[in-house]
Structure formats: C-alpha cells, structure tokens
C-alpha cells in the first residue's frame, strides 16, 4: 500500500458526520498514549471520498487474500448509509471497520436475522462489518481492537446499544474474547461464501468485555438474555 500524506486529508466537515465529509476521531478513553506513541490515527467518513477509498483498498487486500474475492464483493449498497472508519499508521491506511445503523437503512445480511430481533431492537441496533486489518501490521498495535473501540465510542451517543455481526467459525473465539455472544443461527454468506455464524453484543457494563469502561453509566442498556431470546 502507498503511504498517504495526511496533510492532504483536511476534513471539510470536522464537527459533523456527513456522507462525503470526514473527520479524525478522538482516541478511545485510555488509548491516547498508545496511539500517539505509534503514530496511529482513525478517521470516520461516509460512502464516498478519499478516506472511503482508502478503506476499500484495505478491504480489497485483506479479503482478497483471505477469501479470493473481487472489489464487487467488498463494497455494497450498505456503504452509502454507513459510517466507515479507517485506521492510519504513520499516514498509511492499515485497517477499516463499517458501522451501519438499522434505523438508517437495511443492515448487511439483515434478511438472515430473525425479524422479531430486528424489529424489537431497530432503534438502537447497529452492525459492525467489513472489518479488516492489513497484513504485516504488528499485533501489539491492536489496530483491530482500536477500530472496534472507536466505533463503539462513536455510536453510543447516537443511541446504539446492540451490535449484530456474522463471522466464520474460526473467528468466533476472537469475538468471544471481546464480549460477543454466539447464537445458534448460521447461514451461507451471499458474497463471501462459506458458513457464517451470527453473534450479538450488548453495550452493558455488566457484560465481560475489554470495552467495559465505555459502557459505565450509559442509559438503557439491553440485557444479553433479551437479545439471545430471539435466536
């Protein structure tokens, strides 16, 4: 990947989310020193513009290597109503994550989720997808975890309290360590192929998760049992 000159990335909408504008995100609580020490920054954008293209480039490299898929299968219509996060290491895009709100449009693979689950939780339901970290990035930098933390810190003020994802079985232990709960539901992924398992996450400080400090004192936490009852 080619290094990006951060001086050319000047946010036209620094104080508000916008489909084409973008902004640098503040580091998650307690992560400021780590990010500053290693030259890590995370930007948020919509479904177009230079930061979005950087995110797609990371997706293409990661998904192409892992699943042998083309660009047509790493971008989709959900990008247009989602928040896209892109992590930069010394100006080079090295990781990405997408957050889609059910209240703003269909979730990725929503057609496979129980209708009762989506309808009951739509106002505070989100989905973190298109998660990718470039090969060769040192694991000690925790780029993936920083993206997920930043995503949660960003969506909590918008009222998001629940995350639903699908992932391959080999990734289930990774997400369990982060506090995601595996459901019984699986389906064949329509674009990437293979069997995907549905997992859910609730922003509840009672849950065991490394993100717990983000959820202390938030209003309207959703008990995990309420989510799992739909599956």
Rounded to two decimals, the pTM is: 0.87
In a domain, 150, yes or no: yes
In a domain, 1, yes or no: no
Beta strands 125-133 and 162-167 are parallel
In a domain, 167, yes or no: yes
In a domain, 221, yes or no: no
Using alpha carbons only, give the angle 146, 52, 67 rounded to the nearest 5 degrees.
75
Beta strands 162-167 and 195-202 are antiparallel
**What does the pLDDT read at residue 211?**
93
- Which CATH number belongs to the domain containing residue 33 in this structure? 3.40.630.30
In a domain, 132, yes or no: yes
Please, what is the end-to-end C-alpha distance for the chain in angstroms? Answer: 41
In a domain, 222, yes or no: no
**What does the pLDDT read at residue 167?**
93
pLDDT band at residue 18, thresholds of 50, 70 and 90? very low
Q: Range with the lowest mean pLDDT among 26-30, 77-81, 136-140?
A: 136-140
50-80 burial, b at 16+ Cβ within 10 Å, e below that, comes to bbbebbbbbbbbbbeeeeebeeebbbbebbe
Average pLDDT, the chain: 87
Domain that holds residue 104: 6-216
CB 85 within 8 A of CB 101: no
DSSP-derived 3-state class of residue 195 = strand
**What does the pLDDT read at residue 190?**
85
**What does the pLDDT read at residue 1?**
35
The first and second tokens of residue 85, run together, are: 């996060």
CA 171 to chain centre: 15
In a domain, 229, yes or no: no
- Consecutive H or E run containing 59: helix 50-67
Q: Per the structure, how many domains does the chain have?
A: 1
In a domain, 27, yes or no: yes
Give the pLDDT confidence of 201-226 residue by residue, as tens digits: 999 988 889 999 999 999 989 999 99
Residue that has been written with the tokens 């709960």 in this structure: 181
Residue in 92, 96, 109, 108 with CA at minimum distance from that of residue 45: 96
DSSP-derived 3-state class of residue 93 = strand
Give the pLDDT confidence of 120-168 residue by residue, as tens digits: 999 999 999 999 999 889 888 899 999 999 999 999 999 999 999 999 9
Residue 30, phi-psi category: left (phi > 0), alpha (psi -120 to 50), beta (remainder) = left
226 Cβ neighbours under 8 A, 6+ residues apart: none
């Amino acid at each position: 990947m080619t290094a990006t000159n951060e001086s050319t990335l000047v946010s036209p909408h620094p104080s508000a989310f916008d489909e084409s504008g973008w902004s640098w995100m503040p580091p998650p609580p307690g992560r400021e020193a780590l990010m500053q020490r290693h030259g890590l920054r995370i930007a948020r954008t919509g479904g177009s513009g230079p930061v979005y293209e950087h995110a797609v480039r990371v997706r293409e490299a990661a998904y192409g290597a892992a699943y042998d898929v083309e660009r047509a299968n790493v971008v989709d219509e959900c990008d247009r109503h989602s928040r896209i996060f892109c992590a930069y290491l010394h100006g080079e895009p090295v990781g990405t994550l997408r957050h889609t709100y059910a209240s703003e449009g269909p979730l990725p693979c929503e057609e496979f989720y129980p209708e009762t689950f989506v309808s009951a939780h739509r106002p505070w339901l989100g989905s973190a997808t298109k998660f990718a970290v470039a090969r060769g990035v040192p694991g000690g930098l925790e780029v993936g975890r920083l993206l997920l933390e930043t995503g949660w810190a960003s969506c909590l003020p918008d009222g998001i309290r629940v995350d639903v994802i699908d992932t391959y079985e080999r990734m289930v232990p990774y997400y369990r360590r982060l506090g995601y709960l595996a459901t019984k539901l699986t389906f064949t992924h329509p674009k990437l192929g293979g069997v995907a398992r549905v997992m859910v996450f609730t922003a509840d400080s009672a849950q065991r998760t490394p993100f717990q400090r983000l959820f202390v004192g938030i209003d309207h936490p959703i008990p995990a049992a309420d989510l799992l009852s739909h599956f």
